[in-house]
Structure 1
Amino acid sequence: MKPPVLLTRDKFRESVFARDNHLCVLCGAPADDAHHIIERRLFQAPQEKGGYFVDNGASVCEPCHLRCEQTVVSCEEVRDACGIKRIVLPEHLYADQPYTKWGDPILANGQRIRGELFFDESVQKVLKQGKVLDLYTDLIRFPRTYHLPWSPGMNDDDKMMQSLAAFEGEEVVITTKWDGRNTTIYPDGRLHARSPDGRPHHSQAMVKSEAARFSFDIPPGWRVCGEDLYAKHSIAYDNLPSFFLGFQIWNERNECLSWDDTLEWFELLEINPVDVIWRGTFDEKTIRALPLPNPEGWEGYVLRLARSFSYGDYPRAVGKYVRADHNKLGVVHNWRTAKVTPNQLAEKS
């Protein structure tokens, strides 16, 4: 299948109407609008800007358009009504994940995860009109982290940052990337790996115990993200400061705190943070030349803006470097069924 073609706004409307015979695909009335099945603001990369793809459009009348915006009519129903076989998504979203019009992931049980536009005033208004806000869980999927252009350890399903413009002139922080399990912890002690609907694993018992120590001090609506390092993945550790190392904190507005505020909260919560390798004004040449201080112990490093940023800005505000040989280190591919090999903490002096 050929890749979708990005059109101009006018050509998008014209092409969608022509395909649908200028009729609303949902009720058959004369069409008033060319509806974006997935919200155009979610398409941010230059090659997809605005989401003006024919397969992301549907001809609708005004009443049906409102129902689509309210997400009372699902994206799947709209595509079926149009006869669309190709699902067009912004490149930072996951192809195997169903989404609402606003980019909110939909779980297998029908619950929705608050996406990057959830707190937008206009989105809140239309979702309230549709009476669907009670479908949302307060658990939030950890966003996809793109590889930096010079990262050699990409897999087939990984994505690379196409532009570093968001870093230009900004202070950035580079932290160690550890080989563990990405974990998000909430004020009530609930936790999950990258996705809230991921299956729990018995190796999470240690991080659950760790979360119980500080979770009640996390402000309401906030969440702490870090690396669960109890179980060995590809790299064995024998000198860990703790089995959980924090790297991000998100507030009730789904904004990632600045690095300085993050460290302040980690100190209050008594969470060990990941190590800082470098901090300064972004300079690609300098960063590319950085040696890994401990190349045998780290998976790589993470580059982030030092200031705070929104969930929607994450794909442009954070990038990762993964060492070339990381995926050749004897990783246990069926680690869920394999025997857990614990990493080791540093001896207390």
Structure 2
Amino acid sequence: MESRKYSRTYHFPFSLGTTSDDRIAKGWKAILQHELVMTEKLDGENTCLKTSGVYARSHAAPTISPWSVKIRELWEYHKKSLGDLEIFGENLYAIHSIEYERLDSYFYIFAIRLYERWLSWEEVEFYAGVLELPTVPVIRQAIFSEKEILENIEMEMQNGSRFGGECEGFVFRNSGTFHVDDFSKNVLKYVRKNHVKTNEHWTRNWKRAKLWFEKSDWEHESIRNN
């Protein structure tokens, strides 16, 4: 069976980091009827774990990139437990445009697909717990008004990333389950201004991110004082 990649996430009309090939959600206010989960959008590589392997953005074949090595180790450990689940998360083993200061893991789950539906956030957290893998940081789960979405984005962008450093943006998703064909109606994103997308040049000069426990006491103290 052909592996399906992650669905394209449309931008809010007020997202500042759009490019010419991005899609903007025109009737986006329909999402306000749902309880939403606001999560931090992390600056890494969209990666999927499933029984057949580890897939990066393209699902033509399992990835063998050097910056996916730790994620492939995770997959080796969990592959017999995945069943028909497709676990989507952010691979942060390599530094992209943001160097996070307080990472505890190289892989953070943000969605799980099972057959023709995306699981609810409650189910995502359940399976993340079973697999002992973290989810992306949850900022807030609530019924939002348009004003509250804008206010929360502005405030949290000023606060910066939960992992230290600049914040890439946010994803708002329906907290419930929904069909794969309805993805664009249930998941939207806001991306910071001057967002830099990974290009071919990056793959030749990539650098591994340090986890928090690897850093020296001096580095810990310096980060806490910033």
TM-score by length of 1: 0.56
Aligned-residue sequence identity (percent) comes to 30
More strand by share: 2
Residue 343 in structure 1 maps to residue 209 in structure 2: yes
2:80 partner letter:
F
Give the Cα–Cα distance (whole angstroms) in 2 for the partners of residues 237 and 142 of structure 1: 24
Counterpart contact for 1:234–1:332, Cα < 8 Å: no
Unaligned ranges ≥5, structure 1: 1-136
Residue 327 in structure 1 maps to residue 196 in structure 2: yes
Counterpart contact for 2:49–2:86, Cα < 8 Å: yes
Q: 2:142 aligns with which of 280, 286, 300?
A: 280
Displacement of 1:200: 4.1
Residue 317 in structure 1 maps to residue 186 in structure 2: yes
Give the Cα–Cα distance (whole angstroms) in 2 for the partners of residues 250 and 347 of structure 1: 32
Displacement of 1:332: 5.9
Cα 1:170/1:187, change in 2 over 3 Å: same
RMSD: 2.0
Determine the structure 1 residue equivalent to 2:224: none
Residues 179-224 of structure 1 show CA distances to partners (whole Å, capped at 9, x for unaligned) of 0000011024x011122126642211111112222222112x2210
Q: Provide the secondary structure at the position in 1 that maps to 2:14.
A: coil
Give the Cα–Cα distance (whole angstroms) in 1 for the partners of residues 89 and 183 of structure 2: 16
Displacement of 1:271: 0.8
Point out 4+ residue stretches in structure 1 off by more than 3 angstroms: none
Give the Cα–Cα distance (whole angstroms) in 1 for the partners of residues 70 and 213 of structure 2: 18
Determine the structure 2 residue equivalent to 1:9: none
Determine the structure 1 residue equivalent to 2:38: 174
Counterpart contact for 2:99–2:209, Cα < 8 Å: yes
Q: Provide the secondary structure at the position in 1 that maps to 2:78.
A: helix
Give the Cα–Cα distance (whole angstroms) in 1 for the partners of residues 10 and 85 of structure 2: 24
Give the Cα–Cα distance (whole angstroms) in 1 for the partners of residues 67 and 104 of structure 2: 18
Q: Provide the secondary structure at the position in 2 that maps to 1:241.
A: coil
Determine the structure 2 residue equivalent to 1:305: 174
**Matched residues, number:** 207
Determine the structure 1 residue equivalent to 2:129: 267
Q: Provide the secondary structure at the position in 2 that maps to 1:315.
A: helix
1:243 partner letter:
Y
2:211 partner letter:
L
Displacement of 1:238: 3.2
Give the Cα–Cα distance (whole angstroms) in 1 for the partners of residues 206 and 194 of structure 2: 23
Greater relative contact order, per chain length (Cα 8 Å cut-off, separation 6+): 2
1:237 partner letter:
Y
Q: 1:229 aligns with which of 92, 116, 128?
A: 92
Determine the structure 2 residue equivalent to 1:294: 160
Counterpart contact for 1:214–1:270, Cα < 8 Å: no
1:287 partner letter:
I
1:260 partner letter:
E
Q: Which is worse superposed, 140-149 or 193-202?
A: 193-202
TM-score by length of 2: 0.85
2:101 partner letter:
D
Which structure has the greater CA radius of gyration?
1
Give the Cα–Cα distance (whole angstroms) in 2 for the partners of residues 195 and 283 of structure 1: 35
Give the Cα–Cα distance (whole angstroms) in 2 for the partners of residues 163 and 233 of structure 1: 32
Residue 162 in structure 1 maps to residue 26 in structure 2: yes
Counterpart contact for 2:32–2:146, Cα < 8 Å: no
